[in-house]
Amino acid sequence: MISLDIEGLTCIRGQRVLFRELSFSLAAGRALALQGPNGAGKTSLLRLIAGLLSPAAGSIRLRTNGAAVEDGEERGKYIGWLGHLDAVKPQLCVREQFAFFARLYGGVGNLDEAMETFGLTALAELPGQYLSAGQKRRVALARLQLCARPLWLLDEPLAALDTAGKALAAKTISAHCAAGGTVVAATHETLGIACETLNLGPGR
Amino acid sequence: MTPFLVLLSRDIRLAVRAGGGAALALAFFACVVTLVPLGVGADLKLLARIAGGVLWVAAVLAALLSLDRLFQADYEDGSLDLIALSPLSLETTALAKIAAHWFATGLPLTVLSALLAVLFDLSTTGTAALVVSLLIGTPAVSAIGGVGAALTLSIRRGGLILPLIVLPLLAPAVIFGSGAVLAAEDGLANGAFLFLAAFSLLSVALSPFAAAASVRLNLAT
């Protein structure tokens, strides 16, 4: 059970203010879709929440089961990250990609089951360089589920996925929420699940 | 396996597979070192005197070849974000990557140097001193190189700037390393090994912190 509180957050990138005085909170078990035109600061907001960027002003608070999570790199231990890059190594086969991150993150979840769910079983021994963009996205989604972190930050989770893949992603996200997890997703498409929305664009 | 060993073994695996650069560094080292006797000529006395310097300089340059991708490859495909959010601290991450570079490059270079010493008519004592000096000194090359790699991870063609940052800092390793070989050839006792070991220990102890700070800085921009 993890909740997120953002207060008076201001983000400046390259001397340009992307957004200022942004405040919202997200309860445990909820999903939030971040919307806005290109360059509105969706990815920057996700990086701020993950602690990879420092805010110019304002605060980001995580609470897990009511207890506040310490700021800084401690926050990273609660984050499930799906960036716009898939982090798939061309030289490693699909199974090795999973095994590495699952073990790095402390070995949670069943590897074979996750590959089966995302239709990757047949590709298990295939090196990453032969995967299509959509298949790489499936690898990234399956890895996200395998790493079992409570707060998911997703950057365009549906990019490059086919119709079945999109349905699968929506199912994964809603299952995560149903289990008490929290999701923030930057997206231009509709996620296909019940969620709150936040528009970062002009006129916010 | 601890997360440290997981990252270490994965990086060694990536280094030795196609495109990883470990084999490339070894081949480069062998080529450069072989060219020197061909260029200098068959003056065995002269070759034995310059052997330590040539092998050390070639080893440093060869190690640099595979250094620029140390963090950059993970940065470019998004893996570094995931590693930064893992239970492993960035300092431990840097140490694991430096260690992986040494196992995949520094250690094989050391072993290969014993073979290449034959080309320079180096005595048995000289060869032993060379191997020991590389064994002690190459961790410093990987460690200081790791800081350079972390500094340049987001720079396009950062591999060209990397040697400019790293080579001046590695001068002590080359001086004491080749000095140790020459002293052994002349049958002199000297403190070069101790200085080399001190330099190496200091580099390995401090570099992970410097590299982690650079990675943090680069991820935030």
Phi/psi at B59 (5° precision): -65, -40
Contacts of A164 (CB under 8 A, 6+ apart): A119
- Beta-strand runs (E) in A36-155: 57-64, 67-68, 79-82, 151-155
Q: What is the mean pLDDT of residues B6-21?
A: 89
The Cα B128–Cα B135 span in angstroms is 10
Quote the percentage of chain B above a pLDDT of 70: 100
pLDDT of res. B38? 94
Average pLDDT for residues A136-151, to the nearest whole number?
A: 90
pLDDT value at A73 more than 80: no
Task: State mean pLDDT over B67-96.
Answer: 93
Q: Which structural domain, as residue segments, surrounds residue A165?
A: 2-86+134-199
**Span B194-213, average pLDDT:** 96
pTM score, whole prediction: 0.93
Query: Which pLDDT score, from 0 to 100, does residue A71 have?
Result: 74
pLDDT tens digit sequence for B158-172: 778 999 999 999 999
Per-range mean pLDDT, top range of A1-5, A47-51, A179-183, B167-171: B167-171
Contact present, B41 and A138 (Cβ < 8 Å): no
Angle made by CA atoms B172, B177, B181, in degrees to the nearest 5: 150
Determine the Cα–Cα distance for residues B19 and A161; give it in Å rounded to an integer: 29
Say whether pLDDT at A204 is over 60.
no
Q: Is the pLDDT of residue A203 over 60?
A: no
Residue contact B78–A76, C-beta within 8 A? no
Quote the pLDDT of residue B124.
93
The pLDDT assigned to B68 comes to 86
Within a domain: A94: no
Q: What is the CATH number of the domain that holds A68?
A: 3.40.50.300
In terms of pLDDT, which residue wins out, A203 or B218? B218
Query: What are A2's strand-pairing partners?
Result: A64
Q: How far apart are CA A161 and CA B124, in angstroms?
A: 63
**Amino acid letter at B81?**
D
Residues B79-90, mean pLDDT to the nearest whole number: 92
* Residue numbers of the domain that contains B64: 3-219
Q: Please enumerate in sequence order all residues whose Cβ is within 8 A of that of B90, keeping only pairs 6 or more positions apart, or say none.
A: A73, B84, B212, B215, B216
Distance from CA of A44 to the nearest CA of B (A): 10
- On whether residue A125 sits in a domain, the answer given is no
Banded pLDDT at B146 (limits 50, 70, 90): very high
The verdict on B84 touching A (C-beta cutoff 8 Å) is yes
pLDDT at A18 over 60: yes
Q: What average pLDDT does this structure show over B202-215?
A: 97
Q: Give me the pLDDT at residue B19, please.
A: 73
For residue B75, the chain A residue with the least C-alpha distance is: A87
- Residue located via tokens 């080579």: B167
Tell if the CB–CB gap between A87 and B85 is shorter than 8 Å.
no
Contact residues on chain A for B14, CB-CB shorter than 8 A: 89, 91-92
pLDDT bin (cut points 50, 70, 90) of residue A196 is: confident
* Residue A110 belongs to a domain: no
Closest Cα in chain A, distance from residue B136 (Å): 30
pLDDT of residue A188 exceeding 70, the answer is: yes
Least confident of A66-70, B58-62, B143-147, B163-167: A66-70
Q: How far is B77 from chain A (nearest CA, A)?
A: 5
- Structural domains in chain A (count): 1
B136 is written with which tokens? 């002690």
- Do the domain assignments include residue A170? yes
Number of domains in chain B: 1
- Secondary structure (3-state) at B193: helix
Q: What is the pLDDT confidence band of residue B150, given thresholds at 50, 70 and 90? A: very high
* Mean of pLDDT values over B134-156: 94
| Cross-chain Cβ contact B78/A86 below 8 Å | yes
Reply yes or no on whether the pLDDT at A199 is more than 70.
yes
pLDDT digits (tens, 9 = 90+) for B21-68: 889 999 999 999 999 999 998 899 999 999 999 999 999 999 998 898
Q: Count how many Cα atoms sit within 13 Å of the Cα of residue B19 in the half-sphere of its side chain.
A: 7
Mean pLDDT for chain A overall: 88
Predicted pLDDT at B66: 86
Per DSSP, the residues of B88-121 read: S-HHHHHHHHHHHHIIIIIHHHHHHHHHHGGGGT
> CB distance B81–A77 less than 8 Å?
no
Q: What's the distance, Cα to Cα, between the start and end of chain A in Å?
A: 29
CB B116 within 8 A of CB B59: no
Structure tokens at A180: 């008490």
